[in-house]
């Protein structure tokens, strides 16, 4: 009879006890204890630590890219709200930004955030508010041209009110989409996090006017109890002819 990992026999009760349990310490809220227990038992958190990613969110963009293949060698990528940097780490590897894949094109990865972000090998990180005037022009100057991918894992600060938070993140995602319209190459891809809640119809309409395909996906790395999902818009068709910004860019 084969032994179980670690040697010795393990009873049914012993198997259940393999899950890490955390007691509520004096002065710590029950919600904090639950969060800590969830983190300690989250396989994606453990994988992130083992594989050197800055957070479990890295696996969300990995899974999305496995399905839609937008982080290709040679791609120029802009990561909005890039802190702590996990998405940039994935983009560096998959676009060959470090030139580690011989014979493949080398990509460019540009991350921007309101706060300082620890340097990431192969990525260019800037402290910038993407909503500021001329932010799109600044990003294109740093990139030396337009981007092939604009991605965003941003979320607005929580207010504690579910519907308010939903409206805030949809508004943030719409702003990210408008930014993407200014910096994307034709045929480019836009990826962003939203929260399901019913108010994202205007965002869907906006994206369908500008892209060939718009998919709504909940990757396996997204927790089942989370209302988050991701929009993946591919085949950017450029600004609409009747869009005033299109005339400025022509």
- Do 19 and 134 lie in one domain? The reply is no
Q: Is 85 annotated as a binding residue?
A: yes
Q: Which domain range does residue 23 map to?
A: 15-51
- Do 226 and 128 lie in one domain? The reply is yes
pLDDT digits (tens, 9 = 90+) for 205-218: 999 999 999 999 99
Q: Is 153 annotated as a binding residue?
A: yes
- Do 34 and 113 lie in one domain? The reply is no
Q: In the chain, how many domains are there? A: 2
Q: What one-character-per-residue DSSP string does 135-186 give?
A: HHHHHHHHHTS-EEEEEE---PPP-S-HHHHHHHHHHHHHHHHHHHHHHEEE
Q: With cut-offs at 50, 70 and 90, classify the pLDDT of residue 44.
A: confident
Q: What average pLDDT does this structure show over 113-137?
A: 97
Dihedral sign for Cα 223, 225, 226, 232, please.
positive
Residue 172 located in a structural domain: yes
160's tokens: 């504690």
Residue 9 located in a structural domain: no
Q: Among 93, 193, 218, 229, which one carries the catalytic annotation?
A: 193
Residue 197 located in a structural domain: yes
Residues 132/114, Cβ–Cβ less than 8 Å: no
- Model pTM score: 0.80
Instruction: State the chain's mean pLDDT as an integer.
Output: 84
Q: How far apart are CA 52 and CA 45, in angstroms?
A: 11
- Do 46 and 61 lie in one domain? The reply is no
Q: Is 17 annotated as a binding residue?
A: no
Q: Is 113 annotated as a binding residue?
A: yes
Residue 36 located in a structural domain: yes
CA distances from 101 to 51, 95, 98 (A): 19, 9, 8
- Do 28 and 139 lie in one domain? The reply is no
Residue 10 located in a structural domain: no
- Do 128 and 230 lie in one domain? The reply is yes
Check which CATH number belongs to the domain holding 204 and give it: 3.40.50.150
Main-chain phi, psi angles of 29, to 5 degrees: -70, 155
Q: How far apart are CA 17 and CA 220, in angstroms?
A: 25
Q: With cut-offs at 50, 70 and 90, classify the pLDDT of residue 15.
A: very low
- Do 144 and 237 lie in one domain? The reply is yes
- Do 40 and 99 lie in one domain? The reply is no
- Do 153 and 105 lie in one domain? The reply is yes
- Do 132 and 91 lie in one domain? The reply is yes
pLDDT for 105 beyond 60: yes
End-to-end CA separation in angstroms for the chain: 73
- Do 66 and 151 lie in one domain? The reply is yes
So what's the pLDDT on residue 19? 58
Residue 143 located in a structural domain: yes
Which residues contact residue 46 at a Cβ distance below 8 angstroms, ignoring those fewer than 6 apart?
none
Helix (H) or strand (E) holding 213: strand 211-217
Report strand pairing: 184-195 vs 228-236: antiparallel
Residue 189 located in a structural domain: yes
pLDDT for 181 beyond 70: yes
Q: Is 86 annotated as a binding residue?
A: no
Is 146 in the active site?
no
Q: With cut-offs at 50, 70 and 90, classify the pLDDT of residue 224.
A: confident
Residues 120/95, Cβ–Cβ less than 8 Å: no
Q: How far apart are CA 119 and CA 100, in angstroms?
A: 19
Residues 191/61, Cβ–Cβ less than 8 Å: yes
Q: With cut-offs at 50, 70 and 90, classify the pLDDT of residue 225.
A: confident
| Greatest mean pLDDT range, 12-26, 44-58, 189-203 | 44-58
Residues 176/135, Cβ–Cβ less than 8 Å: no
Q: Coil, strand or helix: which one is 48? A: helix
Residue 211 located in a structural domain: yes
- Do 121 and 140 lie in one domain? The reply is yes
């Amino acid at each position: 009879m084969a032994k179980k990992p670690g040697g010795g026999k393990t009873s049914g009760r012993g198997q259940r006890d393999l899950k890490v349990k955390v007691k509520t310490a004096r002065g710590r809220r029950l919600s904090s204890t639950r969060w800590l227990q969830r983190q300690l038992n989250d396989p994606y958190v453990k994988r992130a630590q083992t594989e050197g990613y800055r957070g479990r969110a890295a696996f969300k963009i990995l899974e999305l890219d496995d399905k839609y293949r937008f982080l290709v060698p040679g791609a120029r990528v802009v990561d909005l709200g890039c802190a702590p940097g996990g998405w940039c780490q994935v983009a560096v590897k998959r676009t060959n930004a470090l030139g580690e894949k011989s014979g493949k094109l080398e990509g460019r990865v540009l991350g921007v955030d309101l706060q300082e972000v620890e340097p990431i090998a192969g990525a260019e990180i800037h402290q910038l508010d993407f909503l500021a005037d001329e932010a799109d022009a600044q990003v294109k100057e740093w990139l030396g041209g337009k981007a092939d991918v604009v991605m965003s894992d941003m979320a607005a600060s929580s207010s504690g009110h579910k519907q308010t938070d939903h409206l805030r993140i949809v508004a943030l995602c719409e702003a990210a989409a408008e930014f993407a319209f200014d910096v994307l190459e034709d045929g480019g891809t836009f990826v962003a996090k939203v929260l399901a809640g019913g108010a994202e119809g205007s965002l869907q309409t906006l994206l369908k006017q500008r892209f060939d395909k718009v998919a709504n996906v909940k990757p396996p790395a997204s927790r089942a109890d989370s209302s988050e999902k991701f929009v993946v818009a591919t085949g950017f068709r450029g600004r609409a002819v009747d869009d005033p910004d299109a005339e400025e860019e022509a």
